[in-house]
Amino acid sequence: MALEARTLPVTPFRQNCTILSNQHGQAVVVDPGGESERIFQQVSQCDVEAILLTHGHLDHVGGAASLREKLTAHQGKAVPVIGPGQEDDFLLKTIDDQAAAFNLTGMENVVPDRYLVEGEVLHLLGHSIRVAHVPGHTPGHVVFLDEADHRAIVGDTLFRGTVGRTDFPYGDATQLITEIRKKLFCLPDDTVVLCGHGLPTTIGVERRTNPFFK
Ligand SMILES: [Zn+2]
């Protein structure tokens, strides 16, 4: 059966935290950027299998350590934080500094239980979720592909009509475009793309109309 996906915009950056769940009351939380208590309340009735992270920016990971702690205590078993790629380690270690620069509180550094690499398949919620490495916005950015459901959770790689920022010292615009073409545009047209900010889109619409790929 198809997984249900709910989006919860968190932090002043309105980052889309995504909650995937199945008919058995199991759930996975992707990119809990902050407001961990609010996210916790949304999933407290569920058996949360894992917390997944796409990349190391504060608005995507700032609430991960605290959510892991709350869920592990509540469920009485360790709930792992999985991802992003190890290349984003330098960002995960400086969430406190990133938050201070924006005058934000309630965001913490996080040490994942494990990092992810290109091509891994995660078995969660009775589904196979494939991991693709799509660097360029950050070096360790990964996306989560649920091919059975024609759904892609893409963080800050591809957006409706645009792509992720690459104006960071570690950003690479050419690499981002190349990787999106290679890893995302090969998916079926009707694949629903859940973006890190703003409204969802589909692979077909972006392949045809996104100005960054003309
Ligand atoms: Zn980002």
For residues 76-104, give the mean pLDDT: 96
Give residue limits of the domains in the chain.
4-213
Q: What is the pLDDT of residue 190?
A: 98
Query: How far is Cα 210 from Cα 110, in angstroms, rounded to an integer?
Result: 34
Q: Which two tokens stand for residue 181?
A: 């073409």
CATH topology of domain 4-213: Metallo-beta-lactamase; Chain A (3.60.15)
What is the CA(75)–ligand 1 centre distance, in A?
30
What is the CA(171)–ligand 1 centre distance, in A?
10
Give yes or no for a contact between 57 and 142, defined as CB atoms under 8 angstroms apart. Answer: no
For residues 63-73, give the mean pLDDT: 98
Does residue 105 surpass a pLDDT of 90? no
What is the CA(57)–ligand 1 centre distance, in A?
5
Q: What is the pLDDT of residue 27?
A: 98
Spell out where 25-93 has E strands: 26-30, 47-52, 81-82
User: Smallest Cα–Cα separation from 156: which of 143, 145, 174?
Assistant: 143
Backbone angles phi, psi at 184, to 5 degrees: -110, -40
What is the CA(137)–ligand 1 centre distance, in A?
7
What is the CA(60)–ligand 1 centre distance, in A?
7
Q: What is the pLDDT of residues 165-186, one digit of tens each?
A: 999 999 999 999 999 999 999 9
What is the CA(172)–ligand 1 centre distance, in A?
13
This prediction's pTM: 0.97
Q: Is 212 left (phi over 0), alpha (psi -120 to 50) or beta?
A: alpha
Q: What is the pLDDT of residue 170?
A: 97
What is the CA(45)–ligand 1 centre distance, in A?
29
Q: Which amino acid is at 118?
A: E
What is the CA(164)–ligand 1 centre distance, in A?
7
What is the CA(1)–ligand 1 centre distance, in A?
31
In this prediction, residue 74 has a pLDDT band, given cuts at 50, 70 and 90, of very high
Q: What is the pLDDT of residues 12-38, one digit of tens each?
A: 999 999 999 999 999 999 999 999 999
What is the CA(50)–ligand 1 centre distance, in A?
21
* % of the chain with per-residue pLDDT over 70: 100
What is the CA(173)–ligand 1 centre distance, in A?
13
Q: What is the pLDDT of residues 111-170, one digit of tens each?
A: 999 999 999 999 999 999 999 999 999 999 999 999 999 999 999 999 999 999 999 999
Does residue 106 surpass a pLDDT of 90? no
What is the CA(36)–ligand 1 centre distance, in A?
18
What is the CA(55)–ligand 1 centre distance, in A?
7
What is the CA(79)–ligand 1 centre distance, in A?
24
Residues near ligand 1 ion, CB 5 Å cutoff:
57, 156
Q: What is the pLDDT of residue 134?
A: 98
